[in-house]
Structure 1
Amino acid sequence: MVFCGTPSFSWLDLFFVFACLVGCFVRRVIATLPESMPELCLIRLGIQVRSVRAVFYAIRLARAIDRSAAEAIVAGAGLLHSERFSLGRKHFGVWQYWRSFEDLEAWSHRPPHSEWWRQAVERMRTKGDLGIYHETFLVPRDRIESIYLDCAPAGLAVFGTTGEPVGSMTASRGRLGRG
């Protein structure tokens, strides 16, 4: 852009102006852990299928996981939120957000989790047509940041403390307390 003389605009300038105008209308939300939580226990449970028959079993297993997650939330067992993910037709699972590792551990040793887990392990052992894994993360509250742009609540925004990003909270660095 030239500010003295004849104005000329490049396509990049016009794109920048348009992006700024559109950005003015984007609903932005940040989410943090509730103050009462020093850390978040996050678990990713994945299912990988290797045959058509295993697909049908995995769908039933996913429904059982959804039911037990709903029961855990209603019972106040420490599960804050559970949502499915998919990495293609043969690999899917759930992300679960727990109040603490102790809550997750206590829940995992009781039915219904212990029952469907045992059945899945038996299926893996006898048929070998699916694989199951889990990854557990313990994340201190000062190591979590999030922003949601024109999204329905997902993940941390479902149960966390939400607000509008202002000042330093508009950047990841600020939300992580690093400047």
Structure 2
Amino acid sequence: MGGKPVQGRMTADGTDGVVIFLIGMRVNKWRALRSWLPVFRAMPRMIKELAQDPARGLLGIRAVPGLRNFSVLQYWESKEKLLAYASDQNGEHRPAWAAFNRRARAGGGAVGIWHETYVVPAGSYETIYGDMPPHGLGRARGLVPVGRRGERAAQRLGAETRRQRRKGRPRADHPQGPPLFGAVTAAGDGCCPAPPRHGALSRCAAGPRRGGPPRR
């Protein structure tokens, strides 16, 4: 893990949702070089293609090497962009996937491949990096002081939820949404704020009593 450490406690910038995509391969038969080497070489081509076009939605990657297992952790803007790239007929992924299927049928299980996709909505993740070089989602999105999103993990997890609630809360002088069933909404008509009980006739719906104003 290279790079210069960033002093202090930091967290990943941004509060939008993120898609985590893990993809990897396993060499089951080392001698079957023709089966697993093309699979190994295909991933760098795809990463290069995505890095040259940020609009495709890849935020960042982290390679996870191993003895037999080789995998890459990827951060994406959205599942829609991830799926769009996977199905792009003109991109590197489709021909690499078709070539793997051909070699898998002929190679007798010489190489394995896998992936996992996690769609993480806003407010459902938190990060912290103490005296670390840019890493993980912090490297993909940039770093900000941890205090901007809360000193504790519980605060950082709830920060976006509270922000969305405030943003979506209707104004008191501008109610939103349909009225409750059975309620009358015209101002000044003596309506009740809640529907009547089942089987009962609301005085509001029936109108004011004769000989006087409606009850309050």
CA RMSD of aligned residues (A): 2.6
Q: What does 1:4-153 align with in structure 2 at a 5 Å threshold?
A: 27-32=8-13, 34-35=14-15, 37=16, 39-54=17-32, 58=36, 60-75=38-53, 76-86=55-65, 88-110=66-88, 111-127=91-107, 128-153=109-134
Partner SS for 2:146:
coil
Partner of 2:204: none
Gaps of 5+ in 2: 1-5, 160-216
Partner of 1:177: 158
Deviation of 1:52 (Å): 1.2
Q: TM-score, normalised by structure 2?
A: 0.61
**Where is the helix percentage greater, Structure 1 or Structure 2?**
1
Partner of 1:13: none
Pair 1:55–1:95, CA change in 2 (3 A): farther
Partner SS for 2:42:
helix
Gaps of 5+ in 1: 1-24
Aligned residues: 151
Segment drifting more, 146-155 vs 62-71: 62-71
Pair 1:55–1:153, CA change in 2 (3 A): farther
Partners of 1:130 and 1:27 lie apart in 2 by 43
Partner of 1:4: none
Could you say which structure has the larger radius of gyration? 2
CA contact (8 A) 1:55 1:90 kept: no
Partners of 1:77 and 1:64 lie apart in 2 by 18
Deviation of 1:44 (Å): 0.5
Partner of 1:17: none
Partner of 2:201: none
Segment drifting more, 166-175 vs 44-53: 166-175
CA contact (8 A) 1:29 1:165 kept: yes
Deviation of 1:166 (Å): 2.6
